[in-house]
Homo-oligomer: A and B are copies of this chain.
Amino acid sequence: MAMKALTKATIYQVAQVAGVSIATVSRALRDSDLVTQQTREKVLAAARELQFTPSRLGRSLAEGRHAANGIVFPDLVGPYYAEVVLGYEAAAAGFGSSVLILATRGRADAEAAVRDMASRVDGLTVMGQSVSDEFIAKLAATGLPIVLLSRDPVPGVDTVRPQNQRTAEALVEHLLEHGHRRFVFLGDPDVAPDFAGRYAGTQAGLARAGVAPADLVRAHGFDLDAGRAAARGLDADAVICANDELALGVLLERPTQIVTGWDDLLAARFAGLTTVRQPMRELGATAARWLNRRITESSDKPAAPRRRVLPTRLVVRSSCGIHSPEVHR
Contacts and interface: CB of A to CB of B under 8 A. Distances in A.
Contacts of A56: 116, 119-120
A51 B142 contact: yes
Contact of A103 (B57, B90, B138, B224): B90
A85 interface: yes
A245 to B, nearest CB: 8
Given A103-B93, A141-B6, A267-B267, A98 B82 contact: no
Interface residues of A, number: 56
Interface string A43-66: 000000001011111101100001
A56 B56 CA distance: 12
Contacts of A175: none
Nearest to A269: B267
Contacts of A22: none
A8 B86 contact: no
A245 B267 CA distance: 11
A102 interface: yes
Contacts of A83: 82
A329 interface: yes
A89 B116 contact: no
A53 B113 CA distance: 12
A266 B79 CA distance: 10
A268 B99 CA distance: 31
A118 interface: yes
B79 A98 contact: no
Interface in A84-133: 85-86, 89-90, 93, 98-103, 105, 107, 113, 115-120
Q: How many copies does the complex hold?
A: 2
Given A61-B61, A76-B85, A143-B7, A116 B103 contact: no
A258 interface: no
A270 B266 CA distance: 10
Nearest to A90: B103
A234 interface: no
A282 to B, nearest CB: 15
A68 interface: yes
A101 B119 CA distance: 17
Contacts of A119: 53-56
A53 B115 contact: yes
A61 B81 CA distance: 33
A314 interface: no
A324 to B, nearest CB: 21
A285 to B, nearest CB: 13
A207 interface: no
A192 interface: no
Interface of A: 5-8, 51, 53-58, 60-61, 66, 68, 76-77, 79, 81-83, 85-86, 89-90, 93, 98-103, 105, 107, 113, 115-120, 138, 141-143, 224, 245, 248, 252, 265-267, 269-271, 329
Q: Pick the 8 closest A-B CB pairs, nearest first.
A: A82-B82, A267-B267, A270-B271, A76-B86, A270-B270, A266-B267, A56-B119, A57-B61
